[in-house]
Amino acid sequence: MDEAQLVRAVAKGDRRAFEELYRRTSPWMLTRLRRRCADDQIVAEVMQETYLAVWRAAGAFAEAAGGNAVGWLWTIAARRLIDAFRRRAHHAQPLPVGAGTAPAAEEEALAATVGDEVGDALGALAPELRQVLQAMVLDGLSVRETAVLLAIPEGTVKTRARRARIAMREALS
């Protein structure tokens, strides 16, 4: 059975199909979530919320004609991650004035992966442009997935991606 068939079986209450779907999809889901969030507790919560939502909403996917089950799963996870970020931001205490922040793990990994010139060009990008570029180029997300993940309209994703490419071209020329 492919993932779409598994989701349809889950919609009928098949626990074995759910277990198989989890076994097949949880490793890459965990990897993608960790690329977006360095907090293991948040990632674990998002994983749990995602698969709970899959169990509860499998019928909605099963009723839709066609559809990509893996994309559907990632959309649910991305929305749950965005919700977790919003909750964390809502409850976060402001940093004291003068307190420095350490670079994110994703930033450090990116700096180690790309050359100095490219790394400098990426570092010079505005944060919102860098986020879009990382999601689309490094994570391989589509425009739609990037829009869901960053909670911005698809048109904004396209505009930011274009601006980022132009800025990178100029910086590297």
Report the pLDDT value the prediction gives residue 65, as an integer from 0 to 100.
Answer: 59
Residue with tokens 């992966």: 113
Report the pLDDT value the prediction gives residue 101, as an integer from 0 to 100.
Answer: 46
- DSSP letters for 66-107: S--HHHHHHHHHHHHHHHHHHHHHHHPPPPPTT---PPPHHH
The model's pLDDT over 36-66, given as tens digits with 9 standing for 90+, comes to: 888 899 999 999 999 999 999 998 886 665 6
Residues 6+ apart with CB under 8 A from 148: 75, 78, 79, 82
CA 43-2-59 angle, to 5 degrees, is: 70
Residue 173 to residue 114: CA distance in whole angstroms: 16
pLDDT band of residue 12 (cuts 50, 70, 90) is very high
Report the pLDDT value the prediction gives residue 145, as an integer from 0 to 100.
Answer: 76
Report the pLDDT value the prediction gives residue 102, as an integer from 0 to 100.
Answer: 47
pTM: 0.55
Residue 18 has pLDDT above 80, yes or no: yes
The model's pLDDT over 137-172, given as tens digits with 9 standing for 90+, comes to: 766 678 887 887 777 899 999 999 999 989 888 888
Residues 6+ apart with CB under 8 A from 130: 122, 164
The model's pLDDT over 82-110, given as tens digits with 9 standing for 90+, comes to: 888 877 766 655 444 444 444 454 454 44
30, 47 contact by CB (below 8 A): yes
* Structure-token pair, residue 154: 């698809």
